[in-house]
Structure formats: structure tokens, C-alpha cells
Amino acid sequence: MLVKLLKWPFRLLYGIYCWLVFLVMALVCLNLLLVMPGLGRRRWIARVTARAVFVAWGVRLSICGTERLPAERCIVVGNHASYLDGLVLTAALPPRFAFVIKKEMDRVPLASLLLRRIGSEFVDRHNRHKGAMDARRVLRRASEGQSLVFFPEGTFSTRPGLLRFHTGAFATAVRARCSVVPVVIRGTRQVLSSHAIIPTPARIVIDVLATLVPQPENPEAAAQLRDTSRSLMLANLGEPDLDVAESHALELEKSRAAG
């Protein structure tokens, strides 16, 4: 108990240090993004800043399989486990990718400005009409040659595991006729879980998996891409399938209510 009590002051100091570093680097990055011409240059600045944050935190990034990323436009889909996932993929991926982000982030003043300066796309998940307009805009970007990053779970759980995937990323890939690249992120939940304030220095591993090519002539192409991507990610993630777990729990609850 005494050892744990002695550790707390150091943990607190480390946490204060981490967030001060993040704030200073984010403000410097934002100021550079405001004056820097050229989207490619701005994304390169964001990438360098993201990597610098993890170095300063003592968090090691291991990136495997980047040679599997196609040279042409593609859509990357990643699992979502922490608020750090977007920062991790900003650090890991080449600066030609735009992130597709939930509309709620557009209400966070400084974050919204930063994300817009690096060409992020915001999508409304709650208003069907606005969401459809956003989806058409994202599809247009992909059709024009923009590579995109989606987190198809849409959110993350406090429990380890993979949630159900939304179909939007895969429908975009089919309609824009571009490949899908599943990416597995491991370790972000350990560094900063959903209920934690203080980061923990740990290793984060990013694995780029096999490229999947859509079959636009198949009416089930988007669903097949979604299911294949999810199966590949589950096989490499080493975490449970929360969609199956939730379905079983719902069936159990129904059977108890019926009994």
C-alpha cells in the first residue's frame, strides 16, 4: 500500500507533464497549420507533431506492414479503442490520408480548426438528411482521388473488443472503386483508456493488413467488404467480438423475460 501511495505523486507529475507537452505541441502545430500553404505540407506538420507527442510521452510506436498500403487511393479502416487512435494513425500513415470524423468534433473549437486545416471530413451520425449529404461529399472526395481513414465502429467501448461495424466506409469504397486496407491498433487502451486521465507509457503497435479489392458488380459488395475486414481485424487484434457478446447477452435477456 505504501509503495502505491508513493507512486501516485510521480504518476500525477507525469500526467501533468504529458498534457502540458500535448497542449504546447498542439498550439504550435495549430499556429503552423494556420499560416502554412498547401494541404500536403500541413498534413506533414501534423504527422511530425503526432510522432513528437508520443516520443515526449515515452510511448513507443511500432508500425508494421506499411508496404502493403497501395500507391493509389485507398480507404483505411481501423479499430477504435481510445481517444488516441486518430493521433496514432496521423503519426503512422503517410500524409496523403484524410480522416472521416464524427460531426461532434466540429463543435470543439481548436480541435475543429486543426482538423479542418488537414482536410478532415465531418459526418453527422444522428441526422439522416445531413448524414446523407455528408456521405455524398465523402464519396465525391474519394472519387476525386482522396485516400480516407474511417473508424467503422463509430465509437469505442470501455471493454476490450471489437464493436459492430457501420457500412459507410465500405459503401464508399465500392462506389468510388477503391481498395480497403484494414489496420489493427493495439496498445492505445493501455496508454489512455476511456476512463483514465493520466496516460501510461506503453508500446503501441499498428499492423497494416491485407488489401481488399471491392467487386462493384456484386450487390452485396459493401457488406462483404465490411465482414471480411472485420474478420481479418478480429483475427489479428486478439480481443473479443463484442457484437457477438452483445447478441448473446440480448438473447439471454429475452429468454429470461420469456421464462
Q: What are the residue ranges in the chain where pLDDT is below 50?
A: 1-3, 5-6, 247-258
CA–CA distances in Å: residue 32 to residues 25, 39, 43, 117, 239: 11, 12, 11, 10, 39
pTM across the whole model: 0.88
Specify the pLDDT at position 246: 53
DSSP H helical ranges for the chain: 2-35, 39-57, 85-92, 109-117, 128-143, 168-176, 188-191, 221-237, 242-258
Domain limits, the chain: 2-249
Angle between helices 2-35 and 109-117 (to 10 degrees): 50
CA–CA distances in Å: residue 60 to residues 14, 20, 157: 16, 19, 24
The helix/strand/coil state of 123 is strand
DSSP class of 83: T
Specify the pLDDT at position 258: 47
Phi, psi at residue 94, to the nearest 5°?
A: -60, 155
Q: Rounded CA gap, 26 and 99, in Å?
A: 17
pLDDT tens track for 122-175: 998 777 888 889 889 999 999 999 999 999 998 888 888 999 999 999 999 999
User: What number does CATH give the domain 2-249?
Assistant: 3.40.1130
Q: Rounded CA gap, 16 and 175, in Å?
A: 46
pLDDT tens track for 39-49: 999 999 999 99
